[in-house]
Amino acid sequence: MHIELPPQVEQIIERLAEHGYEAYAVGGCVRDTLLGRCPGDWDITTSARPEQIKALFRRTIDTGIQHGTVTVMMEGEGYEVTTYRIDGEYEDGRHPKQVKFTSDLLEDLRRRDFTINAMAYSHRTGIVDAFGGIEDLERKRIRCVGSAAERFEEDALRILRAIRFSAQLDFAVDEETWNAIKLIAPNLNKVSRERVQMELTKLLCSDHPERIGQVYETGMAPYVTPDFADLSWQTACFPKDSPRKKYVRWAAFLRCGRAALQADGRQLEAEPGGAEWERERAAFAVRILRDLKLDNDTIGKVRTLVAWSGVILPLEAPSVRRAMSRMEPEVWDSLAVLNGWGAELVEMAERIRRRGDCLSLKQLAVNGQDLIAEGIAPGREIGRILGVMFEEVLDHPEHNKKELLIPWYFSEKGRA
Ligand code: ATP
Ligand code: MG
């Protein structure tokens, strides 16, 4: 079987081969190409040692020399080239204690997690499929290389990867592998939260985010974070057209809220954050994301989306502007999808944007300097007055002019 390789990958493999080393494209890129999917990155595995790899290419980066990985730069793109290796004993299911280099490709393939990820390819040799990876691709099956229980004991993250790949590829998890996942589930708490988070994020950003349910069905959830297990996951709903952005997908999931409080959920008001239940739900989501070490930008956006989830906005420009003013435009658009807001509301927001209505203090025609020039002492009072003006402008965008707002505020009417 012939696989189309990017020219840079061909060059790297060829160069290594010319110098007597074996080299193959390996892992995810072989899997994805055979499935007709576009690989995210091309990894290369070789019998050459890191020093030998570095000697053959002009620009290299020591990405993980102790694990045998050198990044080879080709036309501004990096390609990871890794020496064949055997992962030694895993320490606490976390990191291999030591890695041993080997000259045998099969040993390198055997340490990999699933049969579909354990194939290698080069033009000279064709596909090397020692563990039935092609058959599992055809059967749409996630199956461990060798004994599932043993492989999961070595590195418990693999139990989550199994479900992540099943969601990305729409594959089923093989029975032996599934039973081993249930058995090893508690070991997930030995894995770093960053690694757990990255797999969960990939799962949620896949075509089948609802497969996050399998994290619960396998008994892994309590070992993700303590709160994670308490989510009302069965009620989670992922709109078909929701963008594949991590904050959107996390929000779509976390808005299901805490199972214990779900029953208590009432019809939400037009302004979020009012009901204790809503505040609790957003805080709960934030706690889970913090525990999973998500970045602050994502956490902030999820907090907003969860707080506004389920809100029914009246079809009136001032309330729409008020809501828009509380979040970035991109977050607003995602919220419209998550809340299933109708075309009229979406179009009203579009008109508001096109007109350039003031939606943030930055766009207000008056600033702090203007107020100081009017004799207001610098300090808290400035912020308060700007807030009053901003509220006025949200109701009447046509009032966003310095020559209107200042007299308006300082007139009796404005101060009342
Ligand atoms: P993608 O990059 O699309 O998420 P991938 O299969 O390339 O998928 P990576 O995490 O990039 O996944 O890993 C590259 C390869 O390294 C895998 O295909 C697999 O062969 C091997 N691998 C990665 N993580 C593990 C692990 N925890 N245990 C065993 N093998 C692994
Ligand atoms: Mg990859």
Distance between Cα 296 and ligand 2 center (Å): 25
For position 412, what pLDDT does the model report? 65
Take atom 26 of ligand 1 and give the residue whose Cα is closest.
Answer: 113
Please identify, by atom number, the ligand 1 atom nearest to the C-alpha of residue 39.
Answer: 3
pLDDT digits (tens, 9 = 90+) for 235-257: 999 999 899 999 999 999 999 99
Give the pLDDT confidence score for residue 267 in this predicted structure.
45
* pLDDT for residue 272: 56
Closest to 184 (Cα-Cα) out of 90, 85, 289: 90
pLDDT greater than 60 at residue 269: no
| pLDDT value for 271 | 59
Q: How far apart are CA 183 and CA 166, in angstroms?
A: 19
Express as a percent the part of the chain with pLDDT over 70: 93
Is there an atom of ligand 1 within 6 Å of 28 CB?
yes
> Using CA atoms, how far apart are residues 34 and 43, in angstroms rounded to an integer?
15
User: Is 380 a residue whose pLDDT tops 90?
Assistant: yes
Query: What pLDDT, on the 0 to 100 scale, is given for residue 268?
Result: 43
Q: State pLDDT tens for residues 299-329.
A: 999 999 999 999 999 999 999 999 999 999 9
Distance, CA of 92 to CA of 78 (rounded, Å): 32
Q: Whose CA is nearest to atom 1 of ligand 1?
A: 28
Mutate which of 24, 117, 153, 192 to test ligand 1's pocket (most atoms within 8 Å of Cβ)? 117
C-beta neighbour count of 153 within 10 angstroms: 16
* 3-class DSSP assignment, residue 401: coil
CB 123 within 8 A of CB 89: no
Q: How confident is the model at residue 261 (pLDDT cuts 50, 70, 90)?
A: low
Q: How many residues in total does the chain contain?
A: 416
The answer to whether the CB of 43 is under 6 A from ligand 1 is: yes
> Is 93 touching ligand 1 by the criterion CB < 6 Å?
no
Which atom number of ligand 1 is nearest to the Cα of residue 168?
3
Cβ of 209 below 6 Å from ligand 1: no
Whether pLDDT at 93 is above 80 = no
| pTM listed for this prediction | 0.92
Is 296's pLDDT higher than 60?
A: yes
Q: Is 54 in the pocket of ligand 1 (CB under 6 A)?
A: no
How many Å separate Cα 16 from the centre of its chain?
A: 35
**Does ligand 1 have an atom closer than 6 angstroms to the CB of 112?**
yes
Q: How high does pLDDT run on average in the chain? A: 93
| d(CA 83, ligand 2 centre) in Å | 16
pLDDT at site 278: 74
Contacts of 249 (CB under 8 A, 6+ apart): 201, 204, 205, 209, 238, 242
The pLDDT, as a whole number, for residue 274 is 58
Could you read off the pLDDT of 32-81 as tens digits, one per residue? 999 999 999 999 999 999 999 999 999 999 998 889 999 999 999 999 99
Determine the atom of ligand 1 nearest the C-alpha atom of 118: 20
Distance 224 CA to ligand 1 centre (A): 20
